[in-house]
Amino acid sequence: MIDVVAQMGPAFLGSRLKRLGERMQAGAASVLSDADIPLQPGHMPAMAALRTGPKTVGQLAEASGTSQPGMTRTVSQLKRLGLARDEACDDQRSRMIALTDEGERMARRIAELVWPRVGAAAEEILTLVEGNFLRQLAVIEDALAQASIAERATRARPCTLTLREYSPALAREFHDINAEWIESMFVIEETDRKVLENPQEHILDPGGDILFVEAGGLGIVGTCALQKTGPGAFELTKMGVRESARGLKAGEFLLQHVIDRARALGAEKLYLLTNRKCAAAIHLYEKLGFVHDAGIMDEYAARYERCDVAMLYKGG
């Protein structure tokens, strides 16, 4: 299945972080259960804050970065479990929350058996990440404190399309975008696999090129390659655009730039091989100057089992 949340890039950052948080909290809940502690990960910020002394609900909410109604529910749950209690304070308008003796014992047990184990597990994952991920999270949190997503969205510019050159860092995008559309309609053939898994050897080193289109707010949404197949001959191949870019004309933007790049590379013959199932793509090829050509079919179509359409660029 397509990972829609990951595919949508920055536009789904909130959903992706929520999904990540849910997966991590599910693991933490299992650790709590193994330690025979009748609490959930959502209770942990309040327990950590109350270990330092009594606090109002507002102070607990501020310390954990949650809403007051949410913290009120958490405190009520801790009270029902006998872990928290109200405590008198000088300001009659405020209500202090403190841990009970049982709550103190539970907090010590959590600090000994849960937090170190969960922390060690998280640190193990963080060693796989370049840079200081926790610092990067803090930067995001600070930015949201200054201006929310809603505020930033109101002043965001309309989606812009940008051409990106190939780099090794984009090799995974080249593979995944193409594997996605091929597998949705056909079967990945050995010819596909060689090119997608080693574009440097099969596309770039022989004199071809790979280009990408990036959409503002969505990241890399499309790619296309020029594969040199002979003196002055190039196949326009491995062109794919993600579903998330539908309606942005990313495919037309990319195709025009690839045609221009083919000219710059000295292409005397620019052709492509496809299948009639790809009706929308064929219409785009025709719009930008490709015509159906029996000679191309006879000469090159045997490369792919799925090929039943061959086109040659005549200009437009």
**Is residue 241 domain-resident?**
yes
**Is residue 156 domain-resident?**
no
**Is residue 198 domain-resident?**
yes
Q: Exposure pattern of 178-196 as b/e (b: 16+ CB <10 Å)?
A: bbbbbeeeeeeeeebeebb
pLDDT tens-digit readout, 142-194: 998 898 888 887 776 667 899 999 999 999 999 999 998 999 899 999 999 99
The CA angle 154-159-165, to the nearest 5 degrees, is 140
Q: Exposure pattern of 26-60 as b/e (b: 16+ CB <10 Å)?
A: eebeebbeeeebebebbbbbbbbbbeeebbbbebb
Considering the domain architecture, whether residues 188 and 116 belong to the same structural domain is answered as no
Q: How far, in Å, CA of 55 to CA of 72, rounded?
A: 12
**Is residue 245 domain-resident?**
yes
Q: How far, in Å, CA of 242 to CA of 174, rounded?
A: 11
Residue 93: which pLDDT band, with cuts at 50, 70 and 90?
A: low
Considering the domain architecture, whether residues 108 and 202 belong to the same structural domain is answered as no
Q: How far, in Å, CA of 53 to CA of 56, rounded?
A: 10
CB 159 within 8 A of CB 181: no
Range of the domain at 53: 4-149
**Is residue 155 domain-resident?**
no
**Is residue 154 domain-resident?**
no
**0.85 surpassed by pTM:** no
Considering the domain architecture, whether residues 171 and 289 belong to the same structural domain is answered as yes
Considering the domain architecture, whether residues 235 and 298 belong to the same structural domain is answered as yes
pLDDT at 205 exceeding the cut of 80: yes
Considering the domain architecture, whether residues 78 and 26 belong to the same structural domain is answered as yes
Considering the domain architecture, whether residues 125 and 26 belong to the same structural domain is answered as yes
pLDDT at 82 exceeding the cut of 90: yes
Considering the domain architecture, whether residues 44 and 166 belong to the same structural domain is answered as no
At 269 the pLDDT is: 96
At 1 the pLDDT is: 63
Considering the domain architecture, whether residues 130 and 173 belong to the same structural domain is answered as no
Considering the domain architecture, whether residues 113 and 181 belong to the same structural domain is answered as no
Indicate the helix (H) or strand (E) that contains 285.
helix 279-287
Considering the domain architecture, whether residues 53 and 133 belong to the same structural domain is answered as yes
At 182 the pLDDT is: 92
**Is residue 25 domain-resident?**
yes
**Is residue 305 domain-resident?**
yes
Considering the domain architecture, whether residues 277 and 308 belong to the same structural domain is answered as yes
Q: Could you tell me the CATH number of the domain that includes residue 279?
A: 3.40.630.30
From 90, 114, 149, the end of a domain falls on 149
- Report the percent of the chain where pLDDT is more than 90: 70
Query: What total of structural domains would you count in the chain?
Result: 2
From 92, 125, 149, the end of a domain falls on 149
247: left (phi over 0), alpha (psi -120 to 50) or beta: left
* Nearby residues of 275 by Cβ (< 8 Å), 6 or more positions away: 185, 186, 306, 307, 308, 309
Q: Could you tell me the CATH number of the domain that includes residue 140?
A: 1.10.10.10
Indicate the helix (H) or strand (E) that contains 223.
strand 219-230
CB 309 within 8 A of CB 276: yes
CB 242 within 8 A of CB 221: yes
From 149, 184, 214, the end of a domain falls on 149
Considering the domain architecture, whether residues 145 and 169 belong to the same structural domain is answered as no
Residue 218: which pLDDT band, with cuts at 50, 70 and 90?
A: confident
